[in-house]
A and B are shown apart, each in its own frame.
Chain A
């Protein structure tokens, strides 16, 4: 739409007889050149930081370092086709990690999203007090980096330091949050703590945009506060909710920081606990870069498929 002055008269002459609506589009030549100027920096870093690494990893994933004969001498790089992918997918630890990640999603997403919806609705209830203060408190965990959050909770789970364990013990309950049975819910709790408040604010902002007349009309019709929350407010914030779902799903696939930190506090979290940790371990402990590349590509593909599915699902939900 922004065009340089000299080209305008010529195009006006050309475009005038046909239509006035097409005029800006007729000038797309110059628009394209200026747009390129503005877009080049972004697409350059995008190519450097995303496209090129992924392409290089795909190439790398088709090769392997092979030692000749008896395993002596220099390792040679050989083309092995899909061999690396097969090895990754046949690794019990990698597949186990996917299973763990799926279980983590199944536990984390309902807890976090449900908690955020409930808290936002409570905050939006007519009788809620001190909303600003509550918002500030609930957002606090978002200012805490994932590493520090995981560290704090690691201490909150460690007997001897943990206030939770000591309160439970006075009640006669002894729980070890770090043992093999409880470690998954314990890590889910860290993520819930980190992300619920952020999403409460997103949902609360959406709730504030619900027209007050609609709620007033519901009240006159005799709908109570709870009824209004569930059958009027909730459907109206569905678009915000579906965006949250999308970013939550993408976020869960990133799981790396929290289990890596917790793994130093307990043996229940192995060094290949989730797929990202498996790939890290392949690169830095087993020094098999080709396998690490294949694992990264598998993880990126899973993420792409999942976020595509969530986008499709949520757009259908919003239309319905």
Chain B
């Protein structure tokens, strides 16, 4: 108000003390608001997982009788023992199956994708754009849309209810090819390959001794994404496998959930089993943070 009587040059360098105080107050208010909203968002993300942790420490009676985020009679170890000994230790078998399917898809599916992506980036050949177009169509078709067709074909060959029904589909990762092309362009300089060629190295040798080592971070990222994809897959193994001994943990737990509807004493098994089944992925994510972040960037920004 007083500014009208005593006009002052407006300068960013010397705000009035009053203005500065108000700026500080606004600064505090916005710092508080922004961080409070962030905490609220994180609470939404974390609380359900935290609930799983608390619930896994309770027996059936406490699960219904105590507050959600409080401890009851400590029963965590009893629950773990129950999970591991149910049906002759089938849970461990499920975990091992999941690990095997996911690792197989990650290592071999990843390698197949990296080789194809490298070829799309480094070689010139006729029909390259059309072939890459086919890969992109593969990226756009939802997984679940091809699961039943795969089942129908697999039953013709009589390979349903065998590990091959799960292992062959997890090798196919069109999005990995797309990522690998981006990584190949970023990590493998054409000059290096040219030098190898002058030294007399063939294309295959220069891929395995130069290209692949240079693309290793990309390979790990693609493998990690594939590992998570296979570990989380539900519809494919549900459709393909009937033998309990072949199931991955995702389908196994959903079967236990079915048991828990008529028999509530099964509930702690479902809950504790769920908690145990997310531990490997959590560890993989925390240890390999650098790689999944680079994969997210390559996949979306470019």
Contacts and interface: CB of A to CB of B under 8 A. Distances in A.
A254 B145 CA distance: 7
Contacts of B124: 1, 24-25, 27-28, 31
A234 interface: no
Interface residues of A, number: 109
A264 B149 contact: no
Interface string A30-61: 01101111110111011011101110110010
Interface in A256-290: 256-257, 260-261, 264-265, 276, 279-280, 283-284, 289
A168 to B, nearest CB: 13
A98 interface: no
Contact of A253 (B63, B137, B142): B142
B205 to A, nearest CB: 11
Contacts of B187: none
A138 B42 contact: yes
A106 B125 CA distance: 43
Contact of A152 (B148, B174, B274): B274
B228 to A, nearest CB: 8
A151 interface: yes
A144 interface: yes
B143 interface: yes
A38 B153 contact: no
Interface in A128-180: 128-129, 134, 136-149, 151-156, 160-163, 166
Given A143-B278, A152-B51, A250-B142, A163 B68 contact: yes
Given A39-B115, A225-B30, A251-B142, 9 more contacts: A2-B203, A41-B116, A42-B177, A146-B234, A152-B274, A155-B51, A161-B63, A280-B239, A308-B140
Interface of A: 1-5, 24-25, 27-28, 31-32, 34-39, 41-43, 45-46, 48-50, 52-54, 56-57, 60, 115, 119, 122-123, 125, 127-129, 134, 136-149, 151-156, 160-163, 166, 193, 196-198, 201-202, 205-206, 209, 220, 225, 239-240, 243-244, 246, 250-251, 253-254, 256-257, 260-261, 264-265, 276, 279-280, 283-284, 289, 292-293, 295-297, 299-300, 303-304, 307-308, 311
